[in-house]
Amino acid sequence: MSRSDERKHLVELVCPAGTLPALRAAVDHGADAVYIGFRGESNARNFPGLNFDAAEAAEGIEHAHARGARVFVALNVYPQSETWTLATETIDQAAALQADALILADPGLMRYAAERHPHLRLHLSVQGSATNWRAIEFYRREFGIQRAVLPRVLSCTQVARLIERTSVEIEVFGFGSLCVMVEGRCALSSYVTGQSPNTHGVCSPAHAVRWLETPEGLESRLNGVLIDRYSSSEAAGYPTLCKGRFKVEGHTYHAIEEPTSLNALDVLPTLIQSGVKAIKVEGRQRSPAYVAYVTQLLRRALDECTSVGARWSPPTEIVDGLDKLAEGRTHTLGAYHRPWQ
């Protein structure tokens, strides 16, 4: 059996790669596919120090392909008129480098990619915010998408019902930071910074972030707006409006969302049985060590669950291992678990 044959799992493990070392870490620890972005306002992780230039992408794709893994290029923003050329050039570059798929949200870019590069796989990004089978079938019919990444707002029952109604492959998130907003519909940071993830590729752009040591504690500010204040015993998180602590009616707390991580291990047998094609890990901003550790644990979980079936339950060491990396040191099933359904 060749190395490429070994990677043909029933359910793919799709892992993040914000840098070339992270790509190698994911592939070498069992990822079936990795997703990357090019530098600039072409993807929703537009942070300094992240993403790839053409030479790095070529090296990463070669490394992945030699080990039977695939590389998906995320172009998951909605370009404005001034960034349209950058977006289309990114599509051309991904095709020239023989990327395995494009992850797109904008219909105009889908049309461009389908016409200019008809043999290149198209995946509907989570930023496309398709939460029902009719929306997904629209993208399949109009642009030929072959996979859709579902927003993290659907229950397991809803995921299963959607899969029954479409021939498009379905990819769902299995681990990583959880956002209270419906992906593709959040413009919250634009009210403070003038930039939103859907157009500029980042919520809480780095140039607007400030950290200040004060007598009351370490403050994080976004464009001058106080987002949080941490005591010396607290771990400080990257400042985003949805996860900030605010004073409401005299009480200071996480008014919108408390930091937590999605961990779908408890419903992994249900998701696999429903017919999902891929389990995705969030985190292109994460370190290579983080990516390697999470990939290794989830590879083991997926392999065991596929082998055992519905009777599988996550081993304590895998749960504990992932909890060590959970945002806020806790995890949740999020929308997956709605027992009344």
**Do 264 and 249 sit in the same domain of this protein?**
no
Q: Is 101 helix (H, G, I), strand (E, B) or coil?
A: strand
pLDDT at 232: 82
Q: How far apart are CA 14 and CA 101, in angstroms?
A: 12
**Do 150 and 276 sit in the same domain of this protein?**
yes
Closest CA to 68 of 34, 92, 102: 34
Residue 329 lies in a domain: yes
**Do 244 and 323 sit in the same domain of this protein?**
no
**Do 168 and 266 sit in the same domain of this protein?**
yes
Longest CA–CA span in the chain (Å) reads 65
Residue 184 lies in a domain: no
Residue 50 lies in a domain: yes
Q: Phi, psi at residue 285, to the nearest 5°?
A: -85, 0
pLDDT at 4: 45
Q: How confident is the model over 147-200, as pLDDT tens digits?
A: 999 988 899 999 999 999 999 999 999 998 766 666 666 777 788 888 777 666
**Do 196 and 56 sit in the same domain of this protein?**
no
Residue 183 lies in a domain: no
**Do 8 and 138 sit in the same domain of this protein?**
yes
pLDDT at 258: 66
- Output the CA torsion sign for 128, 133, 139, 145: positive
Residue 272 lies in a domain: yes
Domain final residue pick, 216, 233, 253 = 253
Residue recorded with tokens 């409401």:
248
**Do 73 and 206 sit in the same domain of this protein?**
no
**pTM to 2 decimal places:** 0.81
Reading the block at residue 203, the tokens are: 């919520």
Residue 232 lies in a domain: yes
Residue 185 lies in a domain: no
- Output the CA torsion sign for 302, 306, 310, 314: negative
**Do 218 and 279 sit in the same domain of this protein?**
no
Q: What is the CATH number of the domain that holds 92?
A: 3.20.20.70
**Do 55 and 129 sit in the same domain of this protein?**
yes
Q: How far apart are CA 176 and CA 196, in angstroms?
A: 21
Compute CA distances 82 → 40, 41, 226, whole Å. Answer: 13, 11, 31
Question: Which residues in the chain come in under a pLDDT of 70?
Answer: 1-8, 46, 178-185, 198-201, 257-259, 327-330, 339-341
**Do 226 and 82 sit in the same domain of this protein?**
no
**Do 228 and 97 sit in the same domain of this protein?**
no
Residue recorded with tokens 């997904």:
136
**Do 161 and 304 sit in the same domain of this protein?**
yes
Domain final residue pick, 253, 280, 301 = 253
Residue 281 parent element (H or E) = strand 278-281
Residue range of the domain that includes 197: 190-253
Residue 341 lies in a domain: no
Domain final residue pick, 253, 279, 307 = 253
Residue 27 parent element (H or E) = helix 20-28
Reading the block at residue 327, the tokens are: 């945002």
Q: Domain count of the chain?
A: 2
